[in-house]
Structure 1
Amino acid sequence: MGETPQTTPSSFNDLDNLLTPSLFTLLATSRFPYPKQSPINFSNFGRDIFLADPFSPLVKDAAWPALLTLSKYPLDKLPDLHERYLSHPGDPSYPEQCLGLLLLLDNLPRLLFKGIDARWTFDFFDHLAQRVVHSWIGLPEEQRPDSWERWSGKLGARMDYWTGVRFWFGVVLVHSERQGDQELGVVYTEETRRVVEKAGGVLDPWRERREMVLSDVTMFPREYRLGPPQGEVVTKEKWVFWSGMLMDCHKPIIDRFGRYPWLNAITGRVSTKEEEEYIERIGHFAEAGEAVRARVKDDVDAQRWTPLGEDSF
C-alpha cells in the first residue's frame, strides 16, 4: 500500500478519547439488539446483514470520529489496539468489548465508506481488524472472546446469540487475503459447525458438497448474490450452515489468485490476464467503477492517500 502522508503525533490522546468502552458497547449492542437468552429470528438476522442496514445509522455519529482519527495515522505507527483499548481477556466485559472493536474496524467501513473512501476499508482498516484477531485467536479457550463455553457459561447466552456473535468474529479471517488466515477461517467455521451439529443432532447438508465449496472460485459471488436464507422459519442451524458455507468458499479464490481480484481496482493493483477473465466471468462482482479506479491508481502511483471522507457524505 502507498505511504500515508501524516506524521505521527507525540501521543495518542485523540484516540484515547475516542476508542472507549462506551463506544465498543454501543457498537456491539446496536449490532446485536437481542436478549442473550431469547431465540433469534435468523431470517431477520441475515436480512439485516446482507439485504438491509439498520446498524450504521444508529452508530455513525459516534463511530465516524474514531474512524477518521485512526486514518490520520500510518499503519505502522498505530499502537496495538487490542492491548491498549480493551480490558484484560479474563475480564467479563472483554468479549463484548472485543466484538465492538472488530465491528468498528471491519464491518462499519464496509457500510459507511463510498467511492474512493472504500480504499481505506481494504488497504487500511482490514489490516487493523486482522491484527486484533491475531491478538485473541491464540488465547486460552477460557479467555477467547468467541468461545461457546464462555458465552454460554459466564455470559449466560443461548446458542442463538452465540452463533450471531461467532459470525462477526470469523468474517475478519475470510476478509483477509493471507493464505494462513483462510486456513484459520476454515478451521473456525468447522468448530462452529460441530458445536451446532452436536447440539441440534443434525448434520450440515453442505458437507455433501464440501469439495465444491473449497474449490469453486465462482461460488462466493454466486451465493452472495443469492442472499441469506429467508422465510418464516430460518433456524440457527440453517443460518450457521449457510453462513459457514459462505465463509469457506472465500478460500478457493485466495488459493487460486493469492488475493481477491475484485479488489484490484479499489486498491490500485494491476490485474493479471487470468484475473481479468475471472472478473468478467463473475460479472464484475464488487468491483469499483472506472472513475474510482482511476483516482485510486493516481493516488497509488503518487504514494498518497485521498483523505477519508471525500466520498462518504
Structure 2
Amino acid sequence: MVEIASRLRAILTPKLLSTIYHLSVPAPGSSPETLFTRFYGDTDSILTQSLYDLTFHQVFVPLSQIPSDIWPEDFLSLLPDPATNDFLIQALALVLLLDQIPRLIFKRHDTRWAYGFFGPLACRLAQQLDGLPPLLRANNVDRWLGLGLGLSWEDHMLRCSLHLLPSVHAEDLAAQTRAQTLSETTRKAVEAHFHLHDPSRHDPRADISHPASLPRLVAGPIPPVYYTGKGYEVFFFFDCQANRAHVGVLEKFRRYPWRNAPLGRDSTGSEMEYLEEIGDFARMEERVAGEIREDVRRGIGRPLKGWKDIEAECQG
C-alpha cells in the first residue's frame, strides 16, 4: 500500500494540482454569464483541449492502471496537512481532477471510466473531506477568506460549492442526501448575502419533483425565465436547483439510467421508457453502447483511449 501511495503522489504532484486549480476554476471576478457557460453551456473547446493535453496521458492513463480497490483508504494522505493553506487549493483541484475533468474530456468508451472508475474515487475523497472538523474543511468559506487572495464573497462561495460535485453525481442516496444538505446551506447563505429569496422555491414552473426534471431543466433556457435577476445570486440559485433535480431520478431508479449504456448495464423496462422520455439527454451511439455491453459480458475492460484513437476508430 505504501508503494501505491508513492506512485499516486508521483502523479498527483503539488505542481499538477496547482495547475489544475488555475485552469479549471473560473478566474476571480468572472461574470455570471461566464459561470453559466462554463458549467451549463457549450463546452469550452480551448479549456477542454488544455485539460486534455495536461492530464490524459500524464495523469489519467497511469491512474487508470492502478485498480481502485488498492488505492489507499486515506485519500487525504495524498494532500498537504489539512491545517495548511495549500490544502484548500490542492483538495479542490483533486476533486475536480477526479470528478469534473473526466466528464469533460472523456469520450465514447472512456465515458465509462468517468462514471465507473474516477467518479467513485472522487466520491470517496469528498466523503473524507466532509469528515474533517468544520474549521478544517476545504469548503469552509471563512478558510478561503483567510487566504487573502483578494477574492470576492461570490468567488469564495463558488470554490466551496464545487466540492459538492462528486456527491451530486454519485449513484448513492447517502451521498446525495449529504450533497443536498450542503447545497441547502449554500442556498441559504446566498439568500442572506444578497438579501433575496430564491424564486425557484416559490414558482410552480421550478418544480423538480419529477424524475425527468434534470434533463428538462438543462434542456430549457438557462437560466429559466423565473430568475429575473442578472447577478451571481441567479447562478447560485440555479446551481442549487440543478443539484436538487438529481434526487427524483435517483430515488425512483436508485441509479441514473442514462449511465446504463456507458457502463454496459441492461436497462429495465421502466428505465427504457424513461430514456425514451428524456430523448437525447446523454444518449450514447448504439454501436458504441453495444461494444461496451459485449465487453462487460466477456469480462474485459478496454484501456483509456485518446481523442486520436477514437477519431481513427470512427473513421474506420
Query: TM over 0.5, yes or no?
Result: yes
Matches of 1:194 and 1:12 in 2, distance apart?
39
1:88-167 map, 5 Å: 88-156=81-149, 157-167=151-161
Aligned in 2, Cα 1:12/1:183: closer, same or farther, shift over 3 Å? closer
In the alignment, what sits opposite 1:42? 32
Q: 1:112·1:312 contact (CA, 8 Å) conserved in 2? A: no
Aligned length: 302
Decide which of 182, 185, 188 is 1:191's aligned counterpart: 185
Q: How much does 1:128 deviate? A: 0.6
Matches of 2:5 and 2:38 in 1, distance apart?
35
- Tell me the C-alpha RMSD between the 2 structures: 2.3
Q: 1:176·1:182 contact (CA, 8 Å) conserved in 2? A: yes
Matches of 1:269 and 1:279 in 2, distance apart?
13
Instruction: After superposing the two structures, state which structure 1 stretch, 41-50 or 236-245, moved more.
Output: 41-50
Aligned in 2, Cα 1:292/1:169: closer, same or farther, shift over 3 Å? same
Q: How much does 1:18 deviate? A: 1.6
Q: How much does 1:230 deviate? A: 9.4
Q: How much does 1:45 deviate? A: 1.6
Matches of 2:159 and 2:224 in 1, distance apart?
19
Render the CA deviation track for 1:88-122: whole Å, top value 9, x for unaligned: 11111111101111111111111111111111010
Q: 1:106·1:121 contact (CA, 8 Å) conserved in 2? A: yes
Matches of 1:217 and 1:47 in 2, distance apart?
25
The aligned amino acid for 2:19 is: L
Decide which of 237, 243, 247 is 1:247's aligned counterpart: 243
Instruction: After superposing the two structures, state which structure 1 stretch, 123-132 or 50-59, moved more.
Output: 50-59
Give me the TM-score of the superposition, normalised by structure 2. 0.88
Identity %: 29
Q: Which ranges in structure 1 are unaligned for 5 or more consecutive residues?
A: 1-7
Matches of 1:154 and 1:266 in 2, distance apart?
40
In the alignment, what sits opposite 1:223? 217
Q: Which ranges in structure 2 are unaligned for 5 or more consecutive residues?
A: 312-316
The aligned amino acid for 1:44 is: T
Render the CA deviation track for 1:177-236: whole Å, top value 9, x for unaligned: 1011111111111100111111111011111158974521111001112253399x7311
Aligned structure 1 segments of 4 or more residues deviating by more than 6 angstroms: none
Give me the TM-score of the superposition, normalised by structure 1. 0.89
Residue 52 of structure 2 corresponds to residue 52 of structure 1: no
The aligned amino acid for 1:144 is: R
Q: 2:200·2:206 contact (CA, 8 Å) conserved in 1? A: no
